[in-house]
Amino acid sequence: MINKHLSIFLVKAVFLSSFSIGKCDQPCSARDVGIEGRSIVCVCNAAYCDTITRDEPAWNTYVAYTSTRDGKRFEKSTGPIRFLTNAKARNYGRSEKTQTRFANEASYRINSNTRYQKVEGFGGSVTDAASINWRKLSDSTQRHFINSYFGKEGIEYNMIRVPIGGADFSTHPYTYNESPWNDKTLSNYSLSAEDYFYKLPMIKQAQEVSTDEIKVTASTWSPPVWMKTNQAITGFAQLKPEFYQTYADYHLRFIEEYDKAEVKIWAITTTNEPINGIVPFVDFNSLGWLPSDLGRWVARNLGPTIRNSRFNDTLILAVDDQRYLVDIYLGGMALGDPKSLDYIDGIALHYYGNFIPAGILSNIQSRYPGKILLSTEACEGPMPWDIMQVKIGSWERAQRYTRHIIDDLNNFVVGWIDWNLCLDENGGPNWAHNYVDAPILVYGDRDEFIKQPIFYAMGHFSKFIPRGSQRVEVMRTSLGHVHNAAFITPQGNIVMVLQNLNQHEVQVNVALSLLRSAQITMEPESIKTIEFNV
Ligand SMILES: *[C@@H]1O[C@H](CO)[C@@H](O)[C@H](O)[C@H]1NC(C)=O
Ligand SMILES: *[C@@H]1O[C@H](CO)[C@@H](O)[C@H](O)[C@H]1NC(C)=O
**505 catalytic per annotation:** no
Dmax (CA) for the chain in angstroms is: 80
Q: Taking phi first (over 0 means left), then psi (-120 to 50 degrees means alpha), and beta for anything else, what does residue 260 get? A: alpha
pLDDT tens figures, 25-65? 999 999 999 999 999 999 999 999 999 999 999 999 999 99
Laid out side by side, the sheet with 494-500 consists of: 75-80, 61-68, 526-533, 494-500, 483-488, 470-476, 105-118, 506-511, 516-522, 82-83
Is residue 467's pLDDT more than 70?
Answer: yes
CB neighbour list of residue 89: distance below 8 Å, 6 or more residues apart: 514, 515
Mean pLDDT of the 427-454 span: 98
Residue ranges per domain, the chain? 2-117+470-532, 120-462
Amino acid present at 85: T
- Report the alpha-carbon distance of residue 212 to residue 203 in Å, rounded: 13
Q: What pLDDT does residue 100 have?
A: 55
Catalytic residue among 153, 194, 273, 380: 273
Beta strand 121-125 with 413-420 is parallel
CA of residue 310 to ligand 2 center, whole Å: 7
Among 2-11, 106-115, 147-156, 445-454, name the one with the lowest average pLDDT: 2-11
**Confidence band of 281 (pLDDT split at 50, 70, 90):** confident
Contact call for residues 252 and 319 (beta carbons, < 8 A) = no
Nearest CA to ligand 1 atom 10: 179
**Confidence band of 514 (pLDDT split at 50, 70, 90):** confident
**377 catalytic per annotation:** yes
Q: What pLDDT does residue 22 have?
A: 47
Catalytic residue among 153, 377, 448, 525: 377
C-alpha distances in angstroms, 347 versus 167, 214, 318, 339, 526? 21, 19, 5, 16, 31
Q: What is the mean pLDDT of the chain?
A: 93
Q: Taking phi first (over 0 means left), then psi (-120 to 50 degrees means alpha), and beta for anything else, what does residue 121 get? A: left
CA 454 to chain centre: 11
Nearest ligand to residue 312 Cα: 2
Nearest CA to ligand 2 atom 5: 310
Nearest ligand to residue 174 Cα: 1
Contact call for residues 42 and 52 (beta carbons, < 8 A) = no
Any ligand 1 atom below 6 A from CB of 384: no
Nearest CA to ligand 1 atom 7: 179
Is residue 103's pLDDT more than 90?
Answer: no
Q: Which residues line ligand 2 (CB under 6 A)?
A: 310, 312
Mean pLDDT of the 268-273 span: 98
Tell me the Cα Rg of the chain.
Answer: 24
CATH number assigned to the domain covering 120-462 = 3.20.20.80
Any ligand 1 atom below 6 A from CB of 180: yes
Give the nearest ligand 2 atom to 309 CA: 2
Is residue 530's pLDDT more than 90?
Answer: yes
pTM here? Answer: 0.94
C-alpha distances in angstroms, 89 versus 82, 93, 94, 344, 478? 11, 9, 10, 47, 14
Contact call for residues 114 and 487 (beta carbons, < 8 A) = no
Q: What pLDDT does residue 86 have?
A: 54
- Of 46, 38, 200, 36, nearest to 130 by C-alpha is 200
Contact call for residues 437 and 380 (beta carbons, < 8 A) = yes
Mean pLDDT of the 402-410 span: 98
For the chain, percent helix, then strand, then coil, each to nearest 5?
30, 25, 40
Is residue 285's pLDDT more than 70?
Answer: yes
Contact call for residues 87 and 79 (beta carbons, < 8 A) = no
pLDDT tens figures, 173-232? 999 999 999 999 999 999 999 999 999 999 999 999 999 999 999 999 999 999 999 999
- Report the alpha-carbon distance of residue 30 to residue 480 in Å, rounded: 33
Q: Where does 379-452 have alpha helices with state H?
A: 395-409
Amino acid present at 275: I
Q: What is the DSSP string of 313-343?
A: T-EEEEEEEEGGGHHHHHHHHHHH-GGGGGG
- Of 149, 38, 21, 122, nearest to 75 by C-alpha is 21
Is residue 20's pLDDT more than 80?
Answer: no
- 3-state SS, residue 148: helix
Amino acid present at 339: K
Is residue 102's pLDDT more than 90?
Answer: no
335 phi, psi to nearest 5 deg: -65, -40
- 3-state SS, residue 198: helix
Is residue 162's pLDDT more than 50?
Answer: yes
- Report the alpha-carbon distance of residue 194 to residue 203 in Å, rounded: 12
CA of residue 171 to ligand 1 center, whole Å: 20
Percent of the chain with pLDDT over 90: 89
CA of residue 60 to ligand 2 center, whole Å: 46
Q: What is the DSSP string of 460-522?
A: HHHTTS-TT-EEEEEEE-SS---EEEEEE-TTS-EEEEEEE-SSS-EEEEEESSSSEEEEEEE
Amino acid present at 416: W
Is residue 68's pLDDT more than 80?
Answer: yes
Q: What pLDDT does residue 264 have?
A: 98
pLDDT tens figures, 229-258? 999 999 999 999 999 999 999 999 999 999
CA of residue 314 to ligand 2 center, whole Å: 11
Is residue 7's pLDDT more than 60?
Answer: no
C-alpha distances in angstroms, 335 versus 288, 327, 348, 393? 18, 12, 20, 47
Contact call for residues 465 and 120 (beta carbons, < 8 A) = no
Q: Which of the listed residues 255, 310, 312 should we mutate to test ligand 2's pocket, taking the one with most ligand atoms within 8 A of CB?
A: 312
Mean pLDDT of the 483-509 span: 97
Percent of the chain with pLDDT over 70: 92
Among 64-78, 82-96, 100-114, name the one with the lowest average pLDDT: 82-96
pLDDT tens figures, 301-357? 999 999 999 999 999 999 999 999 999 999 999 999 999 999 999 999 999 999 999
Which class for 247: exposed (0-12), middle (13-18), buried (19 or more C-beta within 10 A)?
buried
Mean pLDDT of the 2-21 span: 40
**Confidence band of 384 (pLDDT split at 50, 70, 90):** confident
Which class for 438: exposed (0-12), middle (13-18), buried (19 or more C-beta within 10 A)?
buried
- Of 363, 381, 382, nearest to 373 by C-alpha is 363
CB neighbour list of residue 11: distance below 8 Å, 6 or more residues apart: none
CATH assignment of 2-117+470-532, among 3.60.15.10, 2.60.40.1180, 1.10.10.10, 2.40.110.10: 2.60.40.1180
- 3-state SS, residue 150: helix
Among 97-101, 305-309, 514-518, name the one with the lowest average pLDDT: 97-101
Q: What pLDDT does residue 54 have?
A: 97
